[in-house]
């Protein structure tokens, strides 16, 4: 939106349209003395004095709205990022999973390792495989598989935008889109995650060329670079590009694991946890099978130690030696952890998982605020979600007491933001407008289900990128992942 700053600025009287002004813009009422009535004859005459008088001019209301919106997300972002975790938890809209409830790939239930055992560190203590809804993870950042407009859409993108609230859209709008393979970072707003790293994966549509592979690798590299640039220590990745964009699941998983492994190996002190957050059973099986190829106690560090040991004349690994027993024990524990995790995350997944192939957007309100199943220790219920459940159950028992509305969540308009209304299954006019505006801004906007998106939609997605490349000056914020991630 262009804000005029020249002689075409508006007269203060909102009922006149200047001969110079596009007729769809109006100025707010002036606080100045009553204005000269302008004669409406065959042509509208505008008193130049009004045009030039600085004292009577006020910014057009839409400009006021713009700067109000800017202040709104900036102020809310600053407020949220200054809060400690307990205070932030009061703002979460839905259920959340604390990081310490997400088992690492190799962690022991009760870590009673001695100083000596700690030395047998493996990268497997830095990664997790988690099956469930990424919007519930209480980590420093979750990664969004966005499209080049960054204005929301469907799939995980739609979920994240709905869970974060409308301020995420406002901040994304200020970022001027994002190119394929790059990444930009925003606040997480109503999400349990402090930040959202938006990355745009390649559109593969089933066939994977070198450029698609390079772009997908670049998504992980740029996202991890933004983590480091912003001193963030825990991140969760969805399976980027494997949904609507059609990148085959297995090659995508290998790229994700390889890039994450190499990056963690060179930045071990900069990161506490990288979580591969899968949503579909297909991906869960693939990652379960492949995690140990990249992250298991007998890779990297142990492998180097073993190699080192072999260099010192110990040419044959000792069969059944202490190390092998330790590895066997670790593998057995991995299996146990994974099976335990299966049960627990199964419950979590059941809460947030639509049957395969359907957009999670379709999940109903009660699934989002349903209290965790008994025995499902990994999901906490936020105060807001608890209240919703109470109201729901009261409704169910037919006790229609008027408890008034939820206390407004910070940053939400009175009566709840459009997304909140959508989440509470009350798609009102505002909610539909938000949905429409997202659709109108984003050719890739969600249709609710995850349809087979016609090529022209995806091409539109790409044309949006090329259009942006030609028009947009590189007005991204510092550290928005536009620099080469290799640096």
Residues that bind ligand 8NA (CB under 6 A): 133-135, 145, 147, 153-157, 159, 201, 238-245, 277, 279-280, 283, 359-360, 444, 446-447, 450, 453, 457, 461
* Closest residue by Cα to residue 25 from 39, 8, 40: 8
Smallest separation (angstroms) from ligand 8NA to the CB of 360: 4
Shortest spacing between CB 142 and ligand 8NA, in angstroms: 8
Specify whether the CB–CB gap between 51 and 9 falls below 8 A: yes
- Which C-beta is closer to ligand 8NA: that of 118 or that of 463? 463
Compare residues 49 and 451 and give the one whose CB is closer to ligand 8NA. 451
User: Could you tell me the smallest distance in angstroms from the CB atom of residue 83 to ligand 8NA?
Assistant: 24
Query: Hey, is 187 helix, strand or coil?
Result: strand
User: Which of 427, 429, 424, 364 has the alpha carbon at shortest distance from 391?
Assistant: 424
Of 134 and 178, which has the nearer Cβ to ligand 8NA? 134
Between CA 278 and CA 458 the distance in angstroms is 23
* Nearer CB in complex with ligand 8NA: 134/185: 134
Determine contact, residues 129/122, Cβ cutoff 8 Å.
no
User: Considering all CA atoms of the chain, what is the largest pairwise distance in Å, rounded to the nearest integer?
Assistant: 103
Nearer to ligand 8NA, 74 or 205 (CB): 205
Q: CA nearest 286: which of 259, 241, 254?
A: 254
- Type and span of the H or E element at 218: helix 210-229
For ligand 8NA, the closer CB: 27 or 253:
253
In sign, the C-alpha dihedral spanning 170, 174, 179, 184 is: negative
Minimum CB separation of residue 97 from ligand 8NA in Å reads: 12
| Cβ neighbours for 487, distance < 8 A, ≥ 6 positions apart | none
Closer to ligand 8NA by CB, 241 or 476: give it: 241
> Residue 183, SS3?
strand
CB of 155 to ligand 8NA, least distance (A): 2
Distance in Å from the first CA to the final CA of the chain? 35
Q: Min. distance of Cβ 145 from ligand 8NA in angstroms? A: 3
Q: What is the DSSP letter of 34?
A: P
- What single DSSP character describes residue 6? S
Contact 234, 221 (CB under 8 A): no
Of 84 and 206, nearer to ligand 8NA (C-beta) is 206
Q: Give whichever of 123 and 256 is closer to ligand 8NA, judged by the CB atom.
A: 256
Find, among 154, 217, 159, the residue nearest to 188 by Cα. Answer: 159
* Closer by beta carbon to ligand 8NA, 9 or else 183: 183
Helix (H) or strand (E) holding 432, with range, is helix 429-441
| Residue number with CB closer to ligand 8NA (58 or 359) | 359
Of the candidates 334, 317, 393, 318, the residue with the CA atom closest to the CA atom of residue 129 = 334
What whole-number distance in Å separates Cα of residue 356 and Cα of residue 360?
A: 9
| Close Cβ partners of 92 (under 8 Å, ≥ 6 residues apart) | 190, 191, 192, 382, 383, 384, 385
- Please state the closest distance from residue 423 (CB atom) to ligand 8NA, in A: 13
Cα separation, 388 vs 402, in Å, equals 13
**Burial of 461 from C-beta contacts in 10 A (0-12 / 13-18 / 19+):** buried
Q: Helix H segments across 353-382?
A: 365-369
- Residue 451 CB, shortest distance to ligand 8NA, in Å, is 6
We find the least distance from the C-beta atom of residue 212 to ligand 8NA, in angstroms, to be: 12
SS3 state at 417: coil
Residue 399 CB, nearest approach to ligand 8NA (Å): 33
Nearest to ligand 8NA of 51, 240 (CB atom): 240
Shortest distance, position 239 Cβ to ligand 8NA, whole Å: 4
Q: How far is the CB of 118 from ligand 8NA (least distance, A)?
A: 32
CA–CA distance from 373 to each of 347, 349, 367, 368, 379 (Å)?
7, 11, 11, 12, 9
């Amino acid at each position: 939106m262009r804000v005029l700053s020249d002689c075409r600025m508006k007269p203060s009287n909102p009922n006149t349209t200047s001969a110079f002004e596009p007729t769809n813009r109006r100025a707010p009422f002036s606080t100045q003395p009553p204005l000269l009535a302008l004669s409406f004859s065959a042509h509208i005459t505008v008193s130049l004095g009004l045009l030039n008088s600085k004292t009577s001019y006020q910014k057009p209301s839409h400009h006021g709205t713009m700067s109000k919106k800017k202040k709104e997300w900036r102020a809310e972002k600053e407020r949220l990022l200054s809060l400690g975790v307990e205070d932030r938890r009061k703002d979460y809209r839905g259920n959340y999973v604390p990081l310490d409830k997400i088992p690492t790939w190799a962690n022991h239930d009760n870590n009673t390792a001695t100083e000596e055992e700690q030395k047998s560190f493996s990268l497997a203590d830095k990664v997790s495989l988690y099956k469930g809804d990424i919007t519930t993870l209480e980590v420093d950042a979750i990664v969004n598989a966005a499209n080049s407009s960054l204005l929301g859409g469907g799939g995980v993108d739609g979920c994240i935008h709905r869970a974060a609230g409308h301020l995420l859209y406002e901040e994304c709008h200020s970022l001027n889109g994002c190119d394929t393979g790059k990444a930009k970072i925003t606040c997480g707003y109503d999400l349990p995650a402090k930040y959202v790293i938006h990355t745009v994966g390649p559109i593969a549509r089933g066939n994977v060329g070198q450029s698609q592979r390079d772009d997908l690798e670049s998504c992980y590299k740029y996202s991890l670079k933004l983590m480091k640039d912003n001193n963030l220590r825990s991140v969760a990745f969805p399976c980027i590009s494997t949904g609507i964009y059609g990148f085959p699941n297995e090659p995508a998983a290998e790229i994700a694991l390889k890039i994450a492994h190499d990056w963690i190996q060179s930045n071990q002190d900069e990161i506490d946890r990288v979580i591969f957050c899968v949503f579909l059973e297909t991906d869960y099986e693939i990652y379960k099978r492949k995690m140990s190829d990249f992250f298991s106690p007998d890779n990297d560090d142990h492998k180097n130690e073993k190699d080192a040991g072999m260099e010192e004349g110990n040419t044959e690994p000792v069969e059944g030696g202490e190390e092998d027993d330790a590895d066997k024990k670790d593998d057995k524990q991995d299996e146990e952890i994974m099976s335990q995790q299966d049960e627990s995350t199964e419950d979590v997944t059941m809460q947030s998982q639509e049957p395969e192939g359907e957009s999670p957007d379709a999940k109903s309100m009660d699934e989002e605020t349903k209290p965790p199943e008994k025995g499902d220790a990994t999901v906490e219920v936020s105060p807001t979600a608890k209240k919703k459940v109470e109201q729901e159950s009261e409704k169910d028992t037919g006790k229609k007491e008027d408890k008034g509305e939820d206390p407004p969540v910070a940053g939400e308009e009175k009566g709840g933001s459009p997304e909140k209304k959508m989440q509470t299954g009350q798609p009102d006019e505002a909610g539909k407008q938000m949905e429409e505006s997202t659709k109108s801004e984003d050719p890739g906007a969600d249709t609710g289900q995850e349809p087979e998106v016609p090529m022209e939609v995806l091409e539109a997605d790409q044309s949006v990128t090329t259009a942006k490349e030609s028009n947009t000056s590189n007005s991204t914020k510092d550290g928005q992942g536009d620099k080469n991630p290799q640096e």
